[in-house]
Amino acid sequence: MGYTIEKATEIADNIFEFWINAPHVTKNAQAGQFVVIRINDLGERIPLTISETDGSLVRIVFMAVGKTTTYLSTLKAGDEIRDIAGPLGHPSEMGSFGNCVVIGGGVGIACLPILARALKAAGNNVTGIIGARNESLLLLKDELATHCDELVVCTDDGSFGFHGFPADILKKKLGDGEKIDCVWIIGPGIMMKITSMATIPYKVRTYVSLNPIMVDGTGMCGSCRVTVGGETKFACVDGPEFDAHLVDWDELMARQRTYTDQERESLKLFRDHQCSCGGDHHE
């Protein structure tokens, strides 16, 4: 009893795209929502943004970083994961805003196609700006291009597209007097923090999708609490999207590091085990 991985592909360096058969999730899933998955009986529950849906299939995209994502990356089409729960969290605020900019950094880019598609369907003009450290880490750019009126691609090292950060592009657009009504930024904490600062002087409505540590994802444990506008909010049920200008970024990033040591230990054990057993399944 589990949920079958229908397709498993490495779409960028160490970044994986899985399509999982989960009709209970896709039935009501919308842009901005997430799932919580658990690989097996020993596994932890981890939240992952819903990247796209297609019929009964839900797409998740992840980078193999810790034990759970590294283990997940070793699974193949036809394998099962034990649990997938969702959709969770509020859908992205949707409406006819005018000129929208969706910005993705790293794996966060994966969250943009479903969002851009929904914004487009709601009658908006959509600009995409995506950035990664280098070309090998860029993902889904062709797919995203089909949902955007304009797509700008950046790399930190200049190996592809604009040499620099999405924040630079955003600043330039705003500085040039381009009319921007609404911005979404999804990526690592530090990237969201810095990029969202660009819109403060122009008072542009700016949303970010926060990814704190979570356990149940239903408001029960309070693990994912974040300070927004001086108030404690639970990212799982009050978010995951919040007004970027009100987020206490330093606290968020510090809390994300709570288990750094344990994560390192867990990953090392997994790697050692993989070596000794030839990289076979770890159950």
Partner 1 sequence: MSKRSGDERIADFKEVNEGISEQNAVLEALRCMDCVRPQCTKGCPVNIDIPAFIRAIAEEDFKGAAAIIKKDNMLPAICGRVCPQENQCEGLCVLGNKEKPVRIGALERFVADRERKAGTTLPEIMPPTGKRVAVVGSGPAGITAAAELARYGHSVTVFESLHEAGGVLTYGIPEFRLPKEIVKAEIQQILDMGVELKLNHIAGRTVSVEELLEFDAVFLGTGAGLPSFMGIEGENFNGVYSANEFLTRVNLMHANAFPEYDTPVMKGSRVAVVGGGNVAMDSARVSRRMGAEVYLIYRRREEDLPARDEEVRNAVEEGVEFLCCANPVKILGGPVVTGIECVRMEMCKPDESGRPCPVPLKGDDAVFTLDVDVVIEAIGQSPNPLLVSLIEGLERGRRGNVVVDGSGLTSVDRIYAGGDIATGAATVIEAMGTARKAAQSINEMLMKE
Binding-site residue numbers for [2Fe-2S] cluster are: 221, 224, 236
Pick the piece of the chain touching partner 1 (CB under 8 A) from 47-55, 102-110, 196-204, 224-232: 224-232
CB distance 221 to 236 below 8 Å: no
Q: Tell me how crowded residue 264 is: count the other CB atoms within 10 A of its CB.
A: 12
Helix (H) and strand (E) counts for the chain?
9, 17
Give the C-alpha separation, 149 to 210, whole Å.
26
Angle at CA 200, nearest 5°, toward 199 and 201?
95
Residue 129 interacting with partner 1 (CB under 8 A): no
CA 224 vs CA 102, 126, 213, 241: distances in Å: 24, 30, 5, 13
Nearer to partner 1 (CB atom), residue 41 or residue 176: 41
- Binding status of residue 44 toward partner 1 by CB under 8 A: yes
The least CB distance from residue 184 to partner 1, in Å, is 21
Q: Going residue by residue from 152 to 191, which x/- string records binding to partner 1, judged by CB under 8 A?
A: ----------------------------------------
Rule CB under 8 A: is residue 254 a binding residue for partner 1?
yes
Among residue numbers 77 through 96, which ones bind partner 1 (CB under 8 A)? 82-88
In angstroms, what is the minimal distance from the CB of 25 to partner 1?
Answer: 7
Rounded least distance, CB 275 to partner 1, Å: 16
Q: How far apart are CA 198 and CA 201, in angstroms?
A: 7
283 binds partner 1 (CB under 8 A): no
Do you know the residue count of the chain?
283
CB of 27 to partner 1, least distance (A): 8
Q: What is the DSSP string of 87-103?
A: EESPPPP-S--SEEEEE
Name which position in 17, 31, 32, 43 contacts partner 1 (CB under 8 A): 43
What lies within 8 Å, CB to CB, of 57 at 6+ separation is 6, 7, 19, 20, 21, 22, 26
In the complex, which residues of this chain contact partner 1 (CB under 8 A)?
Answer: 24-25, 27-28, 33, 38, 42-45, 67-68, 82-88, 215-223, 225, 227, 232, 237, 251, 254-255, 257-259, 262-263, 265-266, 269
